[in-house]
Amino acid sequence: MIIIKSIASPAGSGLNFAQDLLRLAFKEYNVNFTAVGHERKDMEEIKEKQIALIRNPYDTIASGAERWLRVSGHKDNLGYVRLLEESDIEGIRESIKREEERYYDFFYKIEDLDQVKIISFETLTKNQDLFIDIVKEYYGLSHMKTKKTTDEEVFDKIRERKNFNRIPRDQASGRTIINQLVLEMYPKDQWECWKIYLEIKSRLGEKVDV
């Protein structure tokens, strides 16, 4: 088996989806893509080629903060003593602030990391053929004929790992609260994370609705 430790992103940016999509696509060749992690330090510790996924910071930070709600059922946080109730607005604000700091730390001067290639969340979720082609070229795997995979097949793999809250679903009331708080806390015209996001998307040649 070829193991490529390759996918990094802030929490809530499609890491699970990317990982399982690539595993299914390259299954015939026994290539296993694994996660680098959600933190800048995770990327810095690895000197080999990596892929970093970038998503709109409003969606990313809201998704990351939602994991800390008790009702979210996030597998990795079960049993954690500081899980939040939906009524704990100040606690939710603090979790949003932590996720915002992680997003900024992840992408600030990310171009200094020569071994990291950035791919957008939109490419991953809306143009999977292009995403896989980029990965193949980046890792020198263009000779491999990859398997066409549906979203539902990828979601089934995520479910098998019991990451049920990492697949698209109807928004719960807690997520609605978080979305509104993120908008209130971080106006676009003043937010450094938003500026960094726009700059990176521009370098990728991708437009953003502002």
| Mean pLDDT of all residues in 177-197 | 96
Q: pLDDT (tens digit, 9 = 90+) per residue, 79-122?
A: 555 777 867 889 899 999 999 999 999 999 999 999 999 999 99
CB-CB neighbours of 194 under 10 Å: 18
Tokens of 204: 């990728």
| Mean pLDDT of all residues in 129-139 | 96
Backbone angles phi, psi at 169, to 5 degrees: -160, 170
Q: pLDDT (tens digit, 9 = 90+) per residue, 93-103?
A: 999 999 999 99
Residue-level pLDDT at 166: 61
Burial class, 132, CB count within 10 angstroms (exposed 0-12 / middle 13-18 / buried 19+) = buried
pTM of the model: 0.88
Tokens of 195: 């500026």
Instruction: Give CATH for domain 2-203.
Output: 3.40.50
Report the distance separating Cα 5 and Cα 167, nearest Å. 22
Q: List the domain boundaries for the chain.
A: 2-203
